[in-house]
Structure 1
Amino acid sequence: MDVVFKTESGVFNFRVAGVMIRNGHILIHRDRKDDAWSLPGGRVGLGEESQVALRREFKEELGVDVKIERLMFSIENFFGYNGHRFHEVGFYYQVTDDSLPLNTDEFYGLEGDRLIYRWIPIAALHEITIYPEILKTELQNISNYPKHFVVND
């Protein structure tokens, strides 16, 4: 059971995402129904460690066994989506995997055509819509220590 619940005032979501960078490019994804991009990952299950959830998500979605290097960001994100107010807590980990091809063409993962993936130059993040938006600036100059952010749209 995923750590997500709905109330009259909104939706709480516990999310984990991977920051996969190779040759100045970062892996991003989006639902085919959305215009906005995000970092690959998903919901954490109740009683599941966040790093275990992240490895599971990459295995389910892309068939790769990522190595988790370190926690980069914890982000409390407050936003509206599909008519609901969200309170999302996200852990963003630096991950590596050399088996995933690096190219600039969009591609699909193992879940059919639901999620679209793409490698994009980090320098070009300002040209796209990506959430949370703080990633556009923070990924330009990555810190050596974890950072915490609160983002309100």
Structure 2
Amino acid sequence: MRQRAAALIQSEGRVLLHRVVGDAFWALPGGGIDAGETAAQALVRELQEELGQPMEPGALACVVENFFTYAGTAYHEIGLYLHATPLPGSLLLSRPGPYAGVEGSRALEFAWFGPHELEGIDVRPAFLAAHLRHWLVHGRAEVAHIIHRDPGF
């Protein structure tokens, strides 16, 4: 079982997503939670490592049990999705993007998406695009516990 912290970063009615260059799908930025680390600490660390940007973690948005296959490996991931805010002076607030990042030896691409743009892209987990559109249009909701299984899992 894998534990992941993901950042729900909103600015000017848009949400920040990322993908590994070469992948067809987008996801919320974040990464694995290391032993002894809180989800908030993992989020701050991952965004600093991947994008070089300081982040202020916020309230929990949802808990996601995600069952999926990636690159031929089956995963059961527990995701803690937290609201997050770039700190003043952040590149994310001063430039429109897209932004280049890294994760180990893999290149990452970060970009902002508005509610209508989310309808035309592949966002993973699959339920996420609809939830992001709702959050962008209606604001924060109560914390949700979501169980998502990719088809065929």
What is the alpha-carbon root mean square deviation over aligned residues? 1.7
Note if 1:60 corresponds to 2:49.
Answer: yes
1:5-56, Cα deviation, whole Å (9 max, x unpaired): xxxxxxx211111011101111111001311111110101012111101011
Greater shift, 126-135 or 93-102, is seen at 93-102
Hey, what's the Cα distance between the residues in 2 that align with 1:73 and 1:146?
A: 5
In the alignment, structure 1 segments of 5+ residues that lack a partner are 1-11
Following superposition, the deviation at residue 110 of structure 1 comes to 5.5
1:1-153 matches, cutoff 5 A:
12-97=1-86, 98=88, 99=90, 100=92, 101-103=94-96, 105-109=97-101, 114-142=107-135, 143-153=140-150
Amino acid at match of 1:87: H
Q: TM-score normalised to the size of structure 1?
A: 0.84
Instruction: Please say if residues 63 and 110 of structure 1, whose CA atoms lie closer than 8 Å, have aligned partners that are also in contact.
Output: no
Amino acid at match of 2:115: I
1:98-141, Cα deviation, whole Å (9 max, x unpaired): 422342x4320255871111111133112100101211111222
Hey, what's the Cα distance between the residues in 1 that align with 2:73 and 2:102?
A: 29
Hey, what's the Cα distance between the residues in 1 that align with 2:122 and 2:129?
A: 9
Secondary structure of residue in 2 paired with 1:51 = helix
Distance 1:109 1:47, change over 3 A: same
